[in-house]
Amino acid sequence: MNNSPIHQLTVSLPVMEHFNTIQGEGYYQGNAAYFIRLGGCDVGCVWCDVKDSWDASKHPQLSIDEIVKYVTDAKANLAVITGGEPLMHNLNELTNALHQKNIQTNIETSGAYSLSGELDWICVSPKKFRAPLPEVLQKANELKVVIFNYSDFKWAEQHAEQVAADCKLYLQPEWDKSSEMLPLIIDFVKQNPKWRISLQVHKYMNIP
């Protein structure tokens, strides 16, 4: 199976939603960011909170120029490309166009597909349902592991061994199990201080 996006000129992308907000998770938590949520995902996380993104055909195709205009009209200087699984698409044209407007490009990905585009920050959130590619893990700036049950701690450590030494490591409780998992994460980070805690603070702020 070919895990690479089709490398041809991309003039449009399926966009589920796009909005100007505050990044609520990980290293850039608290920063203003324009989110571009692309449709299409075959990773299939049972606890995914954006399952509507899975079928790319349900979402309108927006041209690269349209997407970039939304970002520039919001006067954003940071764009977060997410999904779904954004690397199912060729991101070369989108990231090039954003860079031409001096907009930083961050991505949130499962790492299951090969990298494309000029990306300033790569956040890999690996999923058990489809393993991340080793070459994507090696280029990750940030590893963000969602903790759904106790066995995920061992799984997180296995992936931490595959990233670069300067990669930022985060553990994040699955939202619906936060009351159960967060105390365990706190204890784990105290014992393993190379890890940090990521919380979905946008949900506490009631923003997208």
Whether residue 185 lies inside any domain: the answer is yes
Tokens 């699984």 -> residue:
85
Whether residue 119 lies inside any domain: the answer is yes
Whether residue 5 lies inside any domain: the answer is no
Whether residue 22 lies inside any domain: the answer is yes
Whether residue 131 lies inside any domain: the answer is yes
Q: Which pair of structure tokens corresponds to residue 163? A: 């990233």
pLDDT reported for residue 206: 92
Exposed/middle/buried for 63, CB within 10 Å: 0-12, 13-18, 19+? middle
* Contacting residues for 167 by C-beta, under 8 A, at least 6 apart: 140, 141, 142, 143, 160
CA gap 36, 17 in Å, rounded: 6
How many domains would you assign to the chain? 1
CA gap 103, 72 in Å, rounded: 8
> The domain spanning residue 118 has which CATH number?
3.20.20.70
Helix and strand numbers (H, E) in the chain are: 6, 9
Contact between 129 and 107 (Cβ < 8 Å):
no
> What is the number of other CB atoms lying within 10 angstroms of the CB of residue 188?
18
Range of the structural domain that residue 149 is part of: 12-204
CA gap 54, 42 in Å, rounded: 7
pLDDT reported for residue 47: 61
What is the residue-level pLDDT of the chain in tens, covering all 208 positions? 444 444 457 899 999 999 999 999 999 999 999 999 999 998 777 767 677 778 889 999 999 999 999 999 999 999 999 999 999 999 999 999 999 999 999 999 999 999 999 999 999 999 988 899 999 999 999 999 999 999 999 999 999 999 999 999 999 999 999 999 999 999 999 999 999 999 999 998 999 9
Whether residue 168 lies inside any domain: the answer is yes
Is the bond preceding residue 84 a cis peptide, omega within 30 degrees?
yes
Which secondary structure element, helix H or strand E, spans residue 201, and what is its range? Answer: helix 201-204
Whether residue 79 lies inside any domain: the answer is yes
Whether residue 58 lies inside any domain: the answer is yes
> What is the number of other CB atoms lying within 10 angstroms of the CB of residue 40?
21
Tell which residue, 17, 40, 13, has the closest CA to residue 94: 13
One-letter identity of residue 25: E
pLDDT reported for residue 129: 83
pLDDT reported for residue 7: 47
